[in-house]
Structure 1
Amino acid sequence: MTNRRSFLKTNTTLAMAAPFLSPGFYPMRKQKRNKKLGVALLGLGGYASGQLGPALQETKHCYLAGIVTGSPSKVPKWQDKYNIPDENVYSYDNFDSIADNDAIDIVYVVTPNALHMPFTVRAAEAGKHVICEKPMEISSDRCRKMIAACEKAGRKLQIGYRLRYESHHKQIMDFAKNETYGKIKVMDTNFSFYGINGSNWRFTDVSLSGGGPLMDIGLYSLEATLYGSQLKPIAITAQSYKSIPDKLPGMEESIFWQMEFPEGVIANCGSSYAARSNYFRVSTEKGWYAIEPAFSYGGLKGVINGESMNIKNHNQQAAQMDAFAINIQNDTPVIASGAQGLQDMVYVEAIYEAAETGKKVRV
């Protein structure tokens, strides 16, 4: 069976991405300030239609201005629902002409994972700021190309890590920064769901997904340990499993990994397409706190030493996109930056290496 590593070694350039690369470069325009910024969603799949489109009706600093799709049949529904004018509708073929559209300030790339890099490069070259859905890409090398393209164009890049802008998770970050309950000792986290029988690209095509649950929901567990500790890991061990060989071709079904941090801090993490879990727990010198469910789009519940955090839920995607719009308007650093997305992919590659070799990987 072809595993993730052998596939990526022999398909580093991904021939399918070649048609999407643009040789052109469009000059930057001076950023418009003190107005709502126009967002174009590139890729109109389930996340765009179920979460991002509705969230852009709640944002205060940006709005849904346009769409980019490879499926013309989806266009009428989106235009009718969101009143999108014809001039703000693009196909993948004519996407580069978005450079001439001043109504579009931001392109949100919501395609399959392996198409994030080519579309991010094209958007940056067209003079647009970019939000790229997680994972940033399917390899760290491709992430670096995205960062380089945005830096060359002078455009900002955000990765779609919605939970870095969510109130429960921001509280966890503050606890770590301030050592509110003392130093962290152990973190436990798992995000899993029953997706083993899934039929879309995420479960059937490793050339698009780049891997199994780790490249999807496992990133939430990884991210939580990083911002939840405010530390960087120093070593990783991992184990992957598969109970049904003919499902998830070239991908793991379940993966568990352990991260060692400075000062003896340990994180026990997991993700699976054959189970159901959704939690993040932190044990400290002076007690414990947790979020469960931790990674859903809503309904998060936080607990501190058994007592409720009393934090209200809010639209996570709206908060994420508004924060990026403010970064652009005020020229401030992006929290969920391309650098963070790249760092996460380096850790993902280390997790896969540890699982495949059975050895501890230093990072």
Structure 2
Amino acid sequence: MHDLDETLDGLTQRDWQRAASGTVRFALVGLGGWTRTRALPAIGDSTLCETAVVVSGSAEKAERVAEEAPEATTPTPLTYDAFRAGDAVDEYDAVYVATPNALHLPYVAAAADHGKAVLCEKPLEATLERAERLVAACEDAGVPLMCAYRMQTDPLTRAARTAIRDGSIGDPAHVRGHMTQPVLEHGGPDQWRLDPDLAGYGTSVTDLGIYPLNTTRFLLDADPTSVTATFRGSHPAFDDVPDERASFSVSFPDDVVAECAASQNLAKAGELRVIGSAGELVLSPAFYGGEDRELVLRRGTTSASLSARHIDQMCEEFDYFADRVLTGRAPEPDGDHALVDMRAIAAVYEAAEHGERVRL
């Protein structure tokens, strides 16, 4: 059996890190709850990053967040308009965009125009067409773009991928993954995730289903070939989006199938299970950062497990991106990688609407 303890020991040493020193100064664009409670503390605890600029649609909010930031030097507060105009452009090296989905494009394009490296939250944009324009803006400007798939820099996820590559479960055949949360408890019915003009095609698949989809791609090192999907729901808060509860099946090469579920109106939960010809791997809880998690490998009557405590996925993600910027290496979850997810997500909504398999 693969020695998972040895795998994790190696990965916790950051197998990806090449920069021995250096600092990447970030401008944080979009100061919602995720940025304030997860991104700012993660950067504060990071090795290679600092917050230099904070950007909001409200000057007052930007000033308040700057004053409360856990930085030795208070970040410069900017409005969105000031950021796009190029104010304080010499004070930061990279931009983290965490606005609602349909606002990613203008601020990524502005960052690219300023010649700054970009770390953009997922999904890359509200629609495939807008995501393609976003990637093109970075390519035309010659700036690196990384989509914020924090599961890909998470030590347990990386340990699972190594175990699969080393044959610990034989040939992967079936994946089951789900991510759910009661989103109405965190913002009510008027939030942007329930507004198709800001969220895009829907809410559960774009915001949550992307986690089992992309993590499966990362673990298998494979891209989807077709999808089927079914949506359900009756809560009036979800009248403007089609996917209060979503189930979708994703086919991969070599007859591998991933069965995924996502909902913005169920209890908070998440798990990923990969079943192979000789065993299975289970990551639980999965996808939500800030939790103690466990990776379990079962093969026959034998099992082994690894626990991850006090690992900040966001800190790992920011330092990974900074390491790539400092060393001049392209980040692996780049724009083209993210576009594969955008195509698959668009296909999931098409499949649910028409009740038929959509090939990619």
TM-score range relative to shorter protein: 0.7 to 0.9
Please report how far the alpha carbon of residue 200 of structure 1 lies from its aligned counterpart in structure 2 after TM superposition: 4.4
Aligned to 2:318, the other structure's residue is in SS state helix
Is the 2:224–2:253 Cα contact (8 Å) retained in structure 1? yes
Identity %: 30
Partner of 1:325: 322
State the 1:242 CA deviation. 1.5
Greater mean alpha carbon deviation, residues 170-179 or residues 283-292: 170-179
CA distance in 2, matches of 1:88, 1:77: 11
Taking the aligned partners of 1:234 and 1:150, their CA distance within structure 2 comes to 27
Q: Structure 2 stretches of 5 or more lacking a match?
A: 1-19
In structure 2, distance between residues paired with 1:196 and 1:86 = 33
1:160 partner letter: A
Q: Are the equivalent residues in 2 in contact too, given 1:164–1:335 (CA < 8 A)?
A: no
Give distance in 2, aligned partners of 1:87 and 1:41. Answer: 10
CA RMSD of aligned residues (A): 2.0
Q: Which of 56, 66, 77 matches 1:79?
A: 66
Distance 1:99 1:246, change over 3 A: closer
Candidates 48, 51, 56, aligned match of 1:69 = 56
Please name the residue that 2:164 is paired with. 176
Deviations 1:309-336 (A, max 9, x none): 2444411111111111111111112122
For 2:155, the equivalent position in structure 1 comes to: 167
The answer (yes or no) to whether the contact 1:99–1:126 under 8 Å persists in 2 is no
What is the number of residues matched between the two proteins?
331
Alignment of 1:49 onto 2:36? yes
Residue 341 of structure 2 is aligned to residue 341 of structure 1:
no
Q: In structure 1, what is the equivalent of residue 118 of structure 2?
A: 130
Match for 1:58 among 32, 38, 45? 45
**Residue number in structure 2 paired with 1:120:** 108
Q: Tell me the residue number matched to 2:252.
A: 261
Is this contact kept in 2: 1:42–1:110, CA < 8 A? yes
Q: Distance in 1 between matches of 2:171 and 2:222?
A: 11
Partner letter of residue 195 of structure 2?
D
Q: Which amino acid aligns with 1:44?
A: L
- Flag the 1:311–1:195 CA change in 2: closer, same or farther, 3 A: closer
Q: 1:108 to 1:200 in 2, by over 3 A?
A: farther
Q: Distance in 2 between matches of 1:99 and 1:167?
A: 37
- Aligned partners of 1:351 and 1:116: how far apart in 2? 21
- Paired residue for 2:96? 108
What is the match of residue 141 of structure 2?
153
- 1:226-241 matches, within 5 Å, as 226-241=217-232
Structure 1 residue 199: deviation in Å? 3.0
The whole-number CA distance in structure 1 between the counterparts of 2:204 and 2:66 is 33
Please report the TM-score for the alignment, with normalisation by the length of structure 2: 0.87
1:94 is matched with which residue? 82
Amino acid at match of 1:114: A
Measure, in 1, the Cα distance between the counterparts of 2:225 and 2:334.
21
Distance 2:333 2:190 in 1: 27
2:201 is equivalent to residue 204 of structure 1:
no
**Structure 1-normalised TM-score?**
0.86
* Contact persistence 1:78–1:84 (CA under 8 A): no
Distance, in Å, in 1 between the alignment partners of 2:190 and 2:114 is 30
SS state of the match for residue 257, structure 1?
strand
Deviation at 1:275, TM superposition (A): 2.0
Give 2:295's match in structure 1, choosing from 297, 302, 315: 302
CA distance in structure 2 between the partners assigned to 1:109 and 1:246 by the alignment: 27
Q: Which amino acid aligns with 1:288?
A: E
* Poorly superposed stretches of 4+, deviation over 6 Å: 84-87
Identify the residue that residue 353 of structure 2 maps to in structure 1: 356
Give the CA deviation at 1:87.
Answer: 8.0
